[in-house]
């Protein structure tokens, strides 16, 4: 399992945090460690889930990954 922190642009409140957390939780082979305004920390199996899939989930929630 790999741990990664994603910096997210556009998050301003608790609703934003919940929206991102909800989308990330839907992903298989991804464990959400923490979501705060501007940051999501996750663990994932690189052999089963790509960084692109995680970034797409964050975009689906309406936010942009900046790293």
What is the number of structural domains in the chain? 1
CATH number for position 59: 3.30.70.100
Q: Take residue 41 and report the two structure tokens written for it.
A: 């920390």
According to the model, what pLDDT value does residue 22 have? 97
> What range does the domain containing 20 cover?
2-65
Q: What is the mean pLDDT of each run of 10 residues along the chain (67 residues)?
A: 96 96 96 97 95 97 95
Q: In terms of DSSP bridges, do strands 64-65 and 2-9 run parallel, antiparallel, or are they unpaired?
A: antiparallel
Task: Give the global pTM.
Answer: 0.92
DSSP 11: -
């Amino acid at each position: 399992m790999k741990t990664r922190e994603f910096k997210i642009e556009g998050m301003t409140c608790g609703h934003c945090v919940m929206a991102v957390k909800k989308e990330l939780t839907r992903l298989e082979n991804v464990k959400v460690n923490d979501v705060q305004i501007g940051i999501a920390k996750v663990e994932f199996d690189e052999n089963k889930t790509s960084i692109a899939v995680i970034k797409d989930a964050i975009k689906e929630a309406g936010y942009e990954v900046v790293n």
